[in-house]
């Protein structure tokens, strides 16, 4: 063992592996807030351009006290839920139909592919003409915007279902509708859920855009109004509400995924 030429094999496998660092995110968040507060108080940051976080908090608590937070937020949530639900449900249905049958696939897939890349905000004025300045145009924009990504995700999910599983089901004489229900839909579910994640964030964007045209209430309308009045503290309060709402929506979808996709690990 005392061979002078013997030496350990150099270790080369390190790096490229992540480990969670506790508290790092909280630290960054607090640091930015404190720096921001300090900057505005000392005048490094102009109070006109950016009010202090404490002023934003005041604006938020005003919103809560007057009950306007609930008014704006609930109005927005109804639009978001209504538009997103109808858009994704229709999207899943059409996606499954295109995924399953040759005729709809040949006939509709090119159409969907052509409409998918249009930024739906561009259609907002058109929807205002079609569905009126009220709720109709807002719901239609969100529904239309979430419909296409859902269709594309669902088709992908249906296509990705293992053909061997379908052949297995056929070999056991399982009827067509049951194969769709018990094999194809659950197999497409991971793709459908990740499509929902994407369509939920698209819905948020479209919600705010739609509320900037002819809306009295809603977080988007609130932000627009605050901007028009140069009330930057209220404007940022509105952005905070949107951020928290977006995080909550993502969390809810995460919980649904956890439940529905427990089989994946």
Partner 1 sequence: MQLALEAVSHQYGQLEVLSNVDLQVMEGEIVCVVGPSGCGKSTLLRLAGGLEQPSQGDVLLKGESAPGVLNPLTYVFQDFALLPWRTVSENIELVLDHHQLTQSEKSDIVADVLLRTNLSDFKGAWPRQLSGGMRQRVGIARALAVRPEIWLMDEPLSALDSQTRELLMDDLVELWTRTPFSALYVTHNLAEATRLGHKIVLLTGRPGCVRSVTNIDIPLNERAASGAALEDIRQDIWEQMREQAARADREMRHV
169 vs 223 by CB, closer to partner 1: 169
Q: How far apart are the first and last CA of the chain?
A: 46
Residues 6+ apart with CB under 8 A from 162: 187
Among 101, 119, 136, 182, binds partner 1 (CB under 8 A): 182
Nearest to 212 by CA among 141, 117, 129, 131: 141
11 vs 263 by CB, closer to partner 1: 263
Q: Which range of residues in 48-56, 79-87, 167-175, 207-215 is near partner 1 by CB under 8 A? A: 167-175
Among 11, 16, 172, 230, binds partner 1 (CB under 8 A): 172
When asked if residue 175 is in the footprint of partner 1 (CB under 8 A), the reply is yes
Among 165, 193, 205, 231, binds partner 1 (CB under 8 A): 165
Provide the CB-side half-sphere exposure for 140 (13 A, CA): 16
Residue recorded with tokens 């630290």: 27
When asked if residue 189 is in the footprint of partner 1 (CB under 8 A), the reply is yes
DSSP state of 121: G
When asked if residue 258 is in the footprint of partner 1 (CB under 8 A), the reply is no
Give me the least distance between CB of 165 and partner 1, in Å please. 6
b/e for 139-178, b at 16 or more Cβ within 10 A?
Answer: bbbbbbbbbbbbbbbbbbbbeebeeeebeebeeeeeeeee
Applying CB under 8 A, which residues contact partner 1?
Answer: 162, 164-165, 167-175, 178, 182-183, 186-187, 189, 261, 263-265
């Amino acid at each position: 063992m005392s061979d002078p030429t013997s030496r350990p094999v150099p270790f080369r496998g390190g790096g490229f592996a992540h480990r969670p660092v506790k508290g790092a995110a909280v630290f960054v968040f607090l640091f930015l807030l404190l720096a921001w507060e300090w900057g505005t108080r000392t005048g490094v940051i102009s109070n006109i351009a950016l009010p202090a976080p404490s002023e934003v908090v005041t604006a938020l608590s005003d919103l809560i006290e007057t009950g306007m937070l609930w008014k704006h937020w609930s109005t927005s949530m109804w639009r978001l839920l209504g538009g997103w639900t109808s858009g994704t449900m229709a999207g899943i249905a059409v996606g499954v139909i295109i995924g399953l049958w040759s005729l709809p696939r040949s006939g509709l897939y090119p159409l969907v592919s052509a409409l998918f890349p249009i930024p739906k905000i561009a259609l907002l004025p058109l929807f205002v003409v079609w569905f009126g300045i009220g709720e109709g145009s807002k719901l239609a924009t969100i529904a239309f915007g979430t419909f296409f990504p859902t269709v594309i995700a669902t088709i992908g999910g249906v296509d990705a279902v293992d053909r061997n599983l379908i052949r297995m089901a056929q070999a056991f004489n399982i009827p067509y509708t049951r194969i769709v229900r018990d094999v194809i839909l659950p197999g497409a579910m991971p793709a459908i859920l990740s499509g929902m994640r994407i369509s939920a964030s698209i819905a948020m964007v479209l919600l705010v855009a739609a509320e900037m045209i002819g809306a009295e209430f809603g977080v988007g309308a609130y932000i627009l109004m605050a901007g028009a009045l140069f009330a930057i503290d209220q404007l940022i309060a509105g952005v905070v509400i949107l951020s928290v709402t977006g995080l909550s929506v993502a969390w809810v979808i995460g919980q649904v995924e956890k439940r529905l996709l427990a089989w994946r690990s």
